[in-house]
Amino acid sequence: MNKDPSSVVETNGQNVIEDEESPSLVDEVYQKLLLRIIRCELPGGTELKSTQLAREIGVSRTPVVQALARLQADGIVIQQKNHRAVVREGAENWLVEIHELRLLLEPSAAGMAANRMDAEEVIRLQALASEVKICQQQYEDGDLSSAHLQKWGAASRAFDYALHLSIADHCGNLPICEAINKCWSYKRVSYSAAGESPEIMIRGLYDHTVLLDSLNNGDSETAAAAMTMHLRNAARMRPDRLIV
Protein backbone atom coordinates (compact mmCIF):
# COMPACT_ATOMS: atom_id res chain seq x y z
CA MET A 1 0.00 0.00 0.00
CA ASN A 2 1.33 3.44 -0.92
CA LYS A 3 2.05 5.73 1.96
CA ASP A 4 0.02 8.92 2.00
CA PRO A 5 2.62 11.71 1.88
CA SER A 6 0.28 14.08 3.71
CA SER A 7 -0.63 13.67 7.35
CA VAL A 8 -1.35 15.80 10.40
CA VAL A 9 1.18 15.74 13.19
CA GLU A 10 1.53 17.66 16.42
CA THR A 11 4.52 19.99 16.80
CA ASN A 12 4.97 22.00 19.98
CA GLY A 13 1.29 21.56 20.78
CA GLN A 14 0.12 22.67 17.32
CA ASN A 15 -1.41 20.59 14.55
CA VAL A 16 0.56 21.18 11.36
CA ILE A 17 0.48 19.70 7.89
CA GLU A 18 3.21 17.17 7.25
CA ASP A 19 3.80 16.95 3.50
CA GLU A 20 7.52 16.62 3.08
CA GLU A 21 7.33 15.05 -0.37
CA SER A 22 5.20 17.78 -1.92
CA PRO A 23 7.14 20.39 -3.95
CA SER A 24 4.12 22.69 -3.76
CA LEU A 25 4.41 22.95 0.01
CA VAL A 26 8.09 23.89 -0.25
CA ASP A 27 7.16 26.44 -2.92
CA GLU A 28 4.53 27.92 -0.62
CA VAL A 29 6.95 28.20 2.30
CA TYR A 30 9.62 29.67 0.02
CA GLN A 31 7.21 32.33 -1.26
CA LYS A 32 6.01 33.21 2.24
CA LEU A 33 9.56 33.65 3.50
CA LEU A 34 10.60 35.68 0.47
CA LEU A 35 7.54 37.90 0.85
CA ARG A 36 8.40 38.55 4.49
CA ILE A 37 11.96 39.44 3.48
CA ILE A 38 10.75 41.83 0.76
CA ARG A 39 8.36 43.50 3.20
CA CYS A 40 11.24 43.90 5.69
CA GLU A 41 9.45 41.72 8.22
CA LEU A 42 12.68 39.71 8.12
CA PRO A 43 15.26 42.48 7.52
CA GLY A 44 18.86 42.00 6.46
CA GLY A 45 20.94 40.31 9.14
CA THR A 46 17.98 38.46 10.68
CA GLU A 47 18.86 34.93 11.76
CA LEU A 48 16.44 32.39 10.31
CA LYS A 49 15.67 29.54 12.70
CA SER A 50 13.85 26.72 10.94
CA THR A 51 12.01 25.49 14.04
CA GLN A 52 10.65 28.94 14.85
CA LEU A 53 9.67 29.63 11.24
CA ALA A 54 7.93 26.26 10.96
CA ARG A 55 5.87 27.07 14.03
CA GLU A 56 4.94 30.52 12.69
CA ILE A 57 3.95 29.22 9.25
CA GLY A 58 2.20 26.11 10.55
CA VAL A 59 4.19 23.41 8.79
CA SER A 60 6.79 20.86 9.79
CA ARG A 61 10.45 21.81 9.88
CA THR A 62 11.42 19.88 6.73
CA PRO A 63 9.80 22.13 4.07
CA VAL A 64 11.20 25.17 5.89
CA VAL A 65 14.72 23.73 5.73
CA GLN A 66 14.24 23.01 2.02
CA ALA A 67 12.89 26.51 1.39
CA LEU A 68 15.83 28.06 3.23
CA ALA A 69 18.20 25.99 1.08
CA ARG A 70 16.54 27.43 -2.03
CA LEU A 71 16.76 30.96 -0.66
CA GLN A 72 20.44 30.38 0.02
CA ALA A 73 21.00 29.00 -3.49
CA ASP A 74 19.36 32.15 -4.90
CA GLY A 75 21.59 34.38 -2.78
CA ILE A 76 18.73 35.83 -0.76
CA VAL A 77 19.90 34.07 2.40
CA ILE A 78 23.53 33.51 3.33
CA GLN A 79 25.11 31.02 5.68
CA GLN A 80 27.52 32.37 8.25
CA LYS A 81 30.63 30.59 9.49
CA ASN A 82 28.66 29.25 12.44
CA HIS A 83 26.30 27.60 9.90
CA ARG A 84 23.43 29.89 10.84
CA ALA A 85 21.27 31.17 8.00
CA VAL A 86 20.71 34.93 7.91
CA VAL A 87 18.95 37.28 5.50
CA ARG A 88 21.42 38.97 3.14
CA GLU A 89 21.69 42.74 3.54
CA GLY A 90 19.71 44.39 0.75
CA ALA A 91 17.64 41.27 0.05
CA GLU A 92 14.44 43.31 0.44
CA ASN A 93 15.22 44.69 -3.04
CA TRP A 94 15.23 41.24 -4.65
CA LEU A 95 12.13 41.74 -6.81
CA VAL A 96 13.38 45.16 -7.94
CA GLU A 97 16.69 43.60 -8.96
CA ILE A 98 14.88 40.81 -10.82
CA HIS A 99 12.88 43.45 -12.68
CA GLU A 100 16.09 45.23 -13.64
CA LEU A 101 17.36 41.94 -15.04
CA ARG A 102 14.15 41.53 -17.03
CA LEU A 103 14.75 44.96 -18.56
CA LEU A 104 18.09 43.69 -19.83
CA LEU A 105 16.72 40.40 -21.18
CA GLU A 106 13.14 40.69 -22.36
CA PRO A 107 13.33 43.56 -24.89
CA SER A 108 16.00 41.65 -26.82
CA ALA A 109 13.98 38.45 -26.51
CA ALA A 110 10.88 40.20 -27.87
CA GLY A 111 12.82 41.51 -30.84
CA MET A 112 14.15 38.05 -31.64
CA ALA A 113 10.77 36.38 -31.11
CA ALA A 114 9.10 38.71 -33.61
CA ASN A 115 10.94 36.88 -36.38
CA ARG A 116 10.25 33.41 -35.00
CA MET A 117 6.75 33.27 -33.51
CA ASP A 118 4.38 31.31 -35.75
CA ALA A 119 0.80 32.27 -36.60
CA GLU A 120 -0.70 29.49 -34.50
CA GLU A 121 1.01 30.78 -31.36
CA VAL A 122 -0.06 34.35 -32.08
CA ILE A 123 -3.68 33.16 -32.45
CA ARG A 124 -3.44 31.37 -29.08
CA LEU A 125 -2.19 34.54 -27.40
CA GLN A 126 -4.82 36.67 -29.12
CA ALA A 127 -7.52 34.39 -27.70
CA LEU A 128 -6.16 34.94 -24.19
CA ALA A 129 -6.05 38.68 -24.83
CA SER A 130 -9.70 38.60 -25.92
CA GLU A 131 -10.71 37.06 -22.60
CA VAL A 132 -9.02 39.92 -20.76
CA LYS A 133 -10.68 42.49 -23.04
CA ILE A 134 -14.12 41.01 -22.31
CA CYS A 135 -13.47 41.22 -18.56
CA GLN A 136 -12.28 44.80 -18.88
CA GLN A 137 -15.34 45.77 -20.90
CA GLN A 138 -17.63 44.22 -18.29
CA TYR A 139 -15.83 46.24 -15.61
CA GLU A 140 -16.23 49.43 -17.63
CA ASP A 141 -19.92 48.58 -18.07
CA GLY A 142 -20.33 48.58 -14.30
CA ASP A 143 -19.52 45.11 -12.99
CA LEU A 144 -17.43 46.03 -9.93
CA SER A 145 -18.16 42.86 -7.97
CA SER A 146 -15.31 41.11 -6.20
CA ALA A 147 -16.12 37.92 -8.12
CA HIS A 148 -15.66 39.72 -11.42
CA LEU A 149 -12.45 41.42 -10.29
CA GLN A 150 -11.08 38.00 -9.34
CA LYS A 151 -12.06 36.60 -12.74
CA TRP A 152 -10.48 39.58 -14.48
CA GLY A 153 -7.32 39.21 -12.43
CA ALA A 154 -7.06 35.51 -13.26
CA ALA A 155 -7.48 36.21 -16.98
CA SER A 156 -4.90 39.01 -16.85
CA ARG A 157 -2.37 36.82 -15.07
CA ALA A 158 -2.92 33.97 -17.52
CA PHE A 159 -2.30 36.28 -20.49
CA ASP A 160 0.66 37.91 -18.75
CA TYR A 161 2.37 34.58 -18.12
CA ALA A 162 1.55 33.17 -21.54
CA LEU A 163 2.78 36.17 -23.53
CA HIS A 164 6.06 36.72 -21.72
CA LEU A 165 6.98 33.04 -21.49
CA SER A 166 6.03 32.48 -25.13
CA ILE A 167 8.39 35.30 -26.09
CA ALA A 168 11.12 33.57 -24.10
CA ASP A 169 10.36 30.25 -25.78
CA HIS A 170 10.46 31.79 -29.26
CA CYS A 171 13.50 34.04 -28.89
CA GLY A 172 15.82 31.37 -30.26
CA ASN A 173 18.39 31.75 -27.48
CA LEU A 174 18.27 29.04 -24.82
CA PRO A 175 20.33 30.85 -22.12
CA ILE A 176 18.11 33.94 -22.45
CA CYS A 177 15.01 31.75 -22.36
CA GLU A 178 16.18 29.97 -19.21
CA ALA A 179 17.10 33.26 -17.52
CA ILE A 180 13.69 34.78 -18.29
CA ASN A 181 11.92 31.69 -16.97
CA LYS A 182 13.94 31.96 -13.75
CA CYS A 183 12.91 35.61 -13.38
CA TRP A 184 9.29 34.64 -13.88
CA SER A 185 9.48 32.03 -11.14
CA TYR A 186 9.20 35.00 -8.74
CA LYS A 187 6.10 36.47 -10.37
CA ARG A 188 3.67 34.72 -8.02
CA VAL A 189 5.38 36.44 -5.09
CA SER A 190 4.87 39.79 -6.79
CA TYR A 191 1.18 39.07 -7.35
CA SER A 192 0.78 37.99 -3.72
CA ALA A 193 2.56 41.08 -2.48
CA ALA A 194 0.77 43.74 -4.47
CA GLY A 195 -2.26 42.23 -6.21
CA GLU A 196 -3.67 43.56 -9.46
CA SER A 197 -5.62 46.81 -9.39
CA PRO A 198 -7.96 47.71 -12.28
CA GLU A 199 -5.54 50.47 -13.28
CA ILE A 200 -2.65 48.02 -13.51
CA MET A 201 -4.70 45.51 -15.51
CA ILE A 202 -5.96 48.15 -17.95
CA ARG A 203 -2.46 49.48 -18.54
CA GLY A 204 -1.09 45.96 -18.80
CA LEU A 205 -3.62 44.96 -21.44
CA TYR A 206 -2.81 48.03 -23.52
CA ASP A 207 0.93 47.39 -23.33
CA HIS A 208 0.51 43.69 -24.05
CA THR A 209 -1.73 44.39 -27.04
CA VAL A 210 0.87 46.69 -28.59
CA LEU A 211 3.51 44.06 -27.96
CA LEU A 212 1.42 41.24 -29.40
CA ASP A 213 0.58 43.28 -32.51
CA SER A 214 4.28 43.86 -33.15
CA LEU A 215 4.96 40.14 -32.81
CA ASN A 216 2.13 39.38 -35.21
CA ASN A 217 3.59 41.86 -37.71
CA GLY A 218 7.11 40.48 -37.37
CA ASP A 219 8.34 43.93 -36.32
CA SER A 220 11.44 43.31 -34.20
CA GLU A 221 12.23 46.94 -33.47
CA THR A 222 8.72 47.79 -32.30
CA ALA A 223 8.50 44.58 -30.25
CA ALA A 224 11.70 45.40 -28.38
CA ALA A 225 10.59 49.00 -27.78
CA ALA A 226 7.12 47.88 -26.67
CA MET A 227 8.60 45.46 -24.16
CA THR A 228 10.88 48.14 -22.74
CA MET A 229 7.97 50.55 -22.35
CA HIS A 230 5.79 47.86 -20.78
CA LEU A 231 8.38 46.94 -18.16
CA ARG A 232 9.01 50.58 -17.30
CA ASN A 233 5.27 51.22 -16.96
CA ALA A 234 4.96 48.18 -14.70
CA ALA A 235 7.73 49.49 -12.44
CA ARG A 236 6.04 52.88 -12.13
CA MET A 237 2.66 51.40 -11.21
CA ARG A 238 3.84 48.95 -8.56
CA PRO A 239 4.58 49.75 -4.90
CA ASP A 240 8.23 49.94 -3.88
CA ARG A 241 10.11 46.61 -3.95
CA LEU A 242 7.02 44.61 -5.03
CA ILE A 243 7.65 44.58 -8.76
CA VAL A 244 8.84 41.68 -10.87
- In eight-state DSSP terms, residue 239 is P
* Mean pLDDT by groups of 10 residues along the chain of 244 residues: 38 38 77 92 94 95 95 93 88 92 97 97 98 97 95 95 97 98 87 81 96 98 98 82 60
| Residue 97 exposed, middle or buried by CB count within 10 Å (0-12, 13-18, 19+) | middle
CA 9/CA 15 separation, integer angstroms: 6
Query: Residue 242, SS3?
Result: coil
Q: Which residue type does 97 have?
A: E
Chain centroid to CA 67: 16
CA 68/CA 87 separation, integer angstroms: 10
Whether residue 131 contacts residue 159, with contact meaning beta carbons closer than 8 Å, is answered with yes
Secondary structure element (H or E) that encloses residue 79, with its range: strand 77-79
SS3 content of the chain, % helix, strand, coil (to 5): 65, 5, 25
Architecture of domain 93-237 in this structure = Up-down Bundle (1.20)
Can you point out the beta strands (E) in 135-233?
none
| pLDDT value, residue 216 | 97
Q: CATH for 7-89? A: 1.10.10.10
| Residue 178 exposed, middle or buried by CB count within 10 Å (0-12, 13-18, 19+) | exposed
Domain boundaries, the chain: 7-89, 93-237
